[in-house]
Structure 1
Amino acid sequence: MIRIGANPICWSNDDMVEIGGDISLEQCLSEARDIGIEGMEKGNKFPKTAPALKAKLAEYGLVFVSGWYSTFLLERDGDAEFAAGLDELKLRRDAGAEVLVTCECTRTVHGTKSAPLSTRPVMTDAEWATFLPRMTRFAELCRDFGLEVVYHHHMGTVVQTEAEVDRLMAGTGPAVKLLLDTGHITWAGGDPVRMAKTYAGRIGHVHAKDVRRDVAAQATAEDWSFLDSVLAGVYTVPGDGCIDFASVFKALPDYSGWVVIEAEQDPEKANPKRYVTMGYANLKRFLAEAGLA
């Protein structure tokens, strides 16, 4: 079964809290409900305890989907990572999440507005040899705890390109699932359709965002930071950019889970309700074209 969710980053940014800072949580949740969204990922304005989080979402007929978790497995092993994150993992599990959106954030530049994407970290062979078994161990511990790790490849981090995703998938055990983010892999020069076909059996979560190809090309040519690129409109909702979503979903005939609209934009330029409404309608159409309900 496919369920369509949203990330509050469509309304208010987490890396630059001033972007959409004036938009209340209540506006975000009421608009998401009215659009037809079934569940929400976590944002900085959400309640900080599992009971309060579940209750707040329930006021709007929504459920909790998941929440981003930054790992630092190049700095500590899987057991230490799990111990360090236990409170955060418990909050997500107890609020109703089944997956843990995970991204290795050692030396990441995606949250630093002054750091060009060309300065992002790239792992050495020795670091890969350290990272991969630690990620597997962390995922196994999370699985036993009740959360399935879905790895979020992301611009500005150590797993950004298609080749890096391939290396991650080849070098980790079955407890590590993949979060397919259509926008990040496209901007990184990869092919989301090929990714979907290759990893269909390990994709446990989907972030649906589109890419404005002209903005992405300019961002690369002029070596912008991730956040400057977001503010310029590199991302948009499904159907408003260059990605062939119907083909992506056709490559996932057996997928069951969340498809989350996660298209960070400047709400001053892209009204969140109007854009998420458009993205939701487009997603429904693309899923229908692919034969997914």
Structure 2
Amino acid sequence: MKAKLGMSPIAWWNDDLVELSDDVTLEECLRQSRSAGFTGMEKGRRFPDDPAVMLPILKAADVTLCGGWYSGTLVDEELAVNKARIAPMIELFKAVGAPCIVYGEVGRSIQGDRSVPLAHKPKLSDSEMAAYAKKVTEFGEWCADEGMPLSYHHHMGAVVETGPELDAFMKGSGAGIPLLFDAGHLAFAGGDVLGAIDKHHARINHVHVKDVRMGVIDGLDRSKQSFLDAVALGAFTVPGDGTLDFEAIVQKFADHGYEGWFVVEAEQDPKANPPLRMAEVGHKELMRVMNAAGYSVETQGFAKQ
């Protein structure tokens, strides 16, 4: 089985908490992640939106664009609005050979608002969830027809956060909207990480290997503290530096035959947790567990499209 290892630039520059950002260029971010062994990087705010500009940067760094976040609003807004907004991103991702666009629902979400406590996350009724899941499926089918598959990201503070919410979304949606599985977000939400992989493996097309510091999470006052407070306190980290058993997690993916990207998305203070050092820690642990699970990790980065 083959696997690819990527990173998210959120370890270098946090798009929601700008103060948790390192003053490095895109080129330096790519250089550091590649030197640690990663061959992919998801899109962040310092990436150009012109493929003619992005491709030479990726080629020089020997790094592939392995995904990127789209802020979806389908829980509140119409398909047409989201189609118009995502269309340029689809064309960009096709031009640089990215595998998918990460759909993150920001409608009603509290994930980017530090003033709203975790306990005040939005909740959908059963009928609302069913309608939402159907709508997202239709959007995913349209994006795939346009040449770029989506990957739905369950997320803290959003309408699909908990294990039961993920189960309800997956039940109401269809194969037209694949799943991004994020171990750290589900663990933060109190979900059964290994059980969820068993349930939903057939729809998983992208994986975020985010670790957590469960001591930080358990110490939160969810009636007062927000998701971004948790990030600032260090709730997330790279595999090998946190609480989760990634040997068991990666083995579970191997058991189900998953092949594709495993992306480290570990937002934390880069001054307290230097991104290059954390990238090296994460890559070392991932290579250990990948080898134990029988994965062959690809070492080629940029491939000319």
Q: TM-score, normalised by structure 2?
A: 0.92
CA–CA separation in structure 1 for the residues paired with 2:246 and 2:224: 27
1:203-242 pair list within 5 angstroms: 203-220=204-221, 223-242=224-243
1:273 aligns with 2:273: no
Q: Secondary structure at the match of 1:184?
A: helix
Aligned residue number for residue 39 of structure 1: 40
CA–CA separation in structure 2 for the residues paired with 1:133 and 1:59: 41
Q: Secondary structure at the match of 1:112?
A: coil
The number of residues matched between the two structures is: 293
1:74-85 pair list within 5 angstroms: 74-85=75-86
CA-CA distance at 1:26 after TM superposition = 2.3
Q: Secondary structure at the match of 2:61?
A: coil
CA contact (8 A) 1:109 1:115 kept: yes
Aligned residue number for residue 56 of structure 2: 55
CA–CA separation in structure 2 for the residues paired with 1:39 and 1:5: 4
Instruction: Choose 220-229 or 6-15, whichever is displaced more.
Output: 220-229
Instruction: Choose 262-271 or 192-201, whichever is displaced more.
Output: 192-201
CA–CA separation in structure 2 for the residues paired with 1:16 and 1:59: 29
CA-CA distance at 1:33 after TM superposition = 1.4
Superposed CA RMSD in Å reads 1.4
Aligned residue number for residue 89 of structure 2: 88
Aligned residue number for residue 284 of structure 1: 287
Residue type at the aligned position of 1:272: P
Q: Secondary structure at the match of 1:64?
A: strand
CA contact (8 A) 1:54 1:64 kept: no
CA contact (8 A) 1:200 1:251 kept: no
Aligned residue number for residue 15 of structure 2: 14
1:257 aligns with 2:260: yes
Structure 1 runs (4+) greater than 4 angstroms displaced: none
CA contact (8 A) 2:130 2:168 kept: no
CA–CA separation in structure 2 for the residues paired with 1:51 and 1:197: 41
> Whose RCO is larger (CA < 8 A, sep 6+)?
2
CA–CA separation in structure 2 for the residues paired with 1:222 and 1:22: 33
Aligned residue number for residue 192 of structure 1: 193
CA-CA distance at 1:133 after TM superposition = 1.3
CA–CA separation in structure 1 for the residues paired with 2:122 and 2:223: 19
Aligned residue number for residue 303 of structure 2: none
Please list every run of 5 or more consecutive structure 1 residues that lacks an aligned counterpart in the other structure: none
* Identity score, percent: 39
Q: TM-score, normalised by structure 1?
A: 0.96
CA–CA separation in structure 2 for the residues paired with 1:80 and 1:70: 12
Please list every run of 5 or more consecutive structure 2 residues that lacks an aligned counterpart in the other structure: 297-305
